[in-house]
A and B are shown apart, each in its own frame.
Chain A
């Protein structure tokens, strides 16, 4: 403020304003570049940290099924499978709910006390610390899943892939639901009114106009929630059973990449062991990036041209 007033007095306001504008732009650039540098730095750090395991184990790391710190044998396949299985299963479970919530709040109850109560309740779900979800899963879901397993005649562990997917699905609902509601509200009313005037029922409008129009936005929300599921650590580690074997089905205990790192990093002393754990981190980084790239392509393809 001071400098601007001064420059106004000095009779040359234009130059000073241009200079301020340029400085502002430079600042924006610097911050944006800093974020990219940070991302690259993380990748480089992971690469350097996993150098030893990349060199010693090589590609075998990707398809090795044994994780044995005692005999220094490290394979990431069980954790890769565990991570993908829990995340996509959670996504599948959460999808009907998050879309229903998005339609309900975006189309049926846009305003009013009920709507704002529901909205804040869902936002609150996103704010609950994951360790609380883990506790809830351990004390409520585990006995339920266990009794289901007893009825089905499978080993009654209670913990495992299904239990962690259920916990994850609840954790990720708010992300896809919130974004879905936003885009559904953005569907132009002209389109909806046109459909209604041609005799479409309300549900027909939703299925044939609103959802196709909002498709890519809804998918962006789904992608966001998938990213959350891939990286979730605490809640998963409490209910997945932490068994370092290739899972045989959705009831079997397993482990994920994030949970393995959280569990074993503190006590890893052997250089190859530490390096293998860092490589797990690198793998998680790559998987998340790939999922994002593929997702962006899908968003582009499904976007409605207006």
Chain B
């Protein structure tokens, strides 16, 4: 009996010790944004099939991703809101941002008959500020000639959890409305002047569907999945744009800075959709830190390189816009700049 017990313990210990070795594969650890998670899980699954490298990505939110990278517990992080100059200023080892794809934030609503509505930037800001409270408001009617708008109260639905989606949306509103910028500002969590909060994109989509007269903002894919009406938004050039991947790609056609940390909301592009943003992978430029091996650094950089090239084919089927040409070139330059002990990691 006793001997059997010892044998069992011995066997288990051996298994535990041998586990990672026997698996043989490298494992890359990542954490962060939830918004690109459907794409990342598809990409990383394919990558595992093709190259035998396992990528473990935890969708814990952009803020969490940044925290984990800073505490050096993961190989890379994912974020929808780029780190500010202030955040990056005090780092002895610079953190790089590599854009992977683009997503759109759409305005969705629930009205009898599900009409397609047009919104101007100032109408949107005033609705979310709680200043336009009725669907048959004069300004809404003016922007939507021919649409029979009901005499219903507008119920604003926003995210209750901190979110990159909220960041993109509030960044847009801050650009188009001085009052919004002054009173609410931009951030992942806000002091909302009006309305109800719901958790996650599915929560907002669900609540908007439940409440006649409500209006909210979600990622494009959620409105498509739930077959909800989406608003056409007037861009800077004066055109009303239906949200689409093409519209987002056009918006991202702006001149990018070399580190790709840029907000592309309210773009100049004539047919660009005005509320969209990049999502990035972040990691350290000098990969020799905390006892990391060169192998580990190479595995990470190979993955990132693959994600901005071959991995892009998985974006469109999942309703993410792939990187436009200009952004892809900038991303390549950034990946080339990664070093291990001062020497370039990427093998050309």
**Could you list which residues of chain A lie within 8 angstroms of chain B, going by C-beta atoms?**
66-71, 73, 138-139, 142-143, 146, 155-159, 237-238, 241-244, 253, 255, 259, 262-264, 266-269
Contact = CB atoms under 8 A, between A and B. Distances in A.
B163 interface: yes
Contacts of A237: 160, 199
B132 to A, nearest CB: 15
Interface string B180-204: 0000111111111001111100010
A237 B155 CA distance: 18
Contact of B162 (A155, A255, A266): A266
B347 interface: no
Given A238-B203, A267-B62, A267-B63, A244 B188 contact: no
Contacts of B155: 155-157
Most buried by A among B60, B155, B206: B155
Most buried by A among B64, B186, B196: B196
Contacts of A73: 191
Nearest to B200: A263
B173 to A, nearest CB: 12
A62 B165 CA distance: 30
Contact of B64 (A243, A253, A266): A266
B335 to A, nearest CB: 26
B153 interface: yes
Given A157-B211, A238-B198, A267-B62, 6 more contacts: A69-B162, A70-B185, A73-B191, A138-B206, A139-B210, A263-B162
A223 B198 CA distance: 30
29 contacts: A68-B191, A69-B187, A69-B191, A70-B184, A70-B186, A70-B187, A71-B191, A139-B210, A142-B211, A156-B211, A157-B155, A157-B211, A159-B196, A238-B198, A238-B203, A241-B196, A241-B197, A243-B197, A244-B192, A255-B160, A264-B162, A266-B64, A267-B61, A267-B62, A267-B161, A267-B162, A267-B188, A268-B63, A268-B189
Interface residues of B, number: 33
Nearest to B34: A266
Nearest to B162: A267
Instruction: Enumerate the 9 nearest inter-chain pairs by beta-carbon distance, A residue then B residue, closest first.
Output: A267-B162, A242-B197, A242-B160, A68-B191, A267-B63, A70-B185, A241-B196, A266-B61, A69-B189
Nearest to B155: A157
Contacts of B188: 69, 267
Most buried by B among A70, A244, A255: A70
B203 A269 contact: no
A142 B161 contact: no
B229 to A, nearest CB: 20
Nearest to B62: A267
Contact of B210 (A69, A158, A263): A158
Contacts of A69: 162, 187-191
A244 B191 contact: yes
Chain B contact residues: helix, strand, loop or mixed: loop
Contacts of B211: 142, 146, 156-158
B67 interface: yes
Nearest to A242: B197
B325 to A, nearest CB: 32
B66 interface: yes
A225 to B, nearest CB: 25
Given A70-B191, A139-B210, A263-B160, A253 B196 contact: yes
B64 A267 contact: yes
Contacts of A159: 196, 207
Interface in B147-177: 153, 155, 160-163
A235 to B, nearest CB: 12
B133 to A, nearest CB: 10
Nearest to A156: B153
Contacts of B199: 237-238, 242, 262-263
Nearest to B210: A142
Interface in B60-83: 60-64, 66-67
Nearest to A139: B210
Nearest to B185: A70
B71 to A, nearest CB: 12
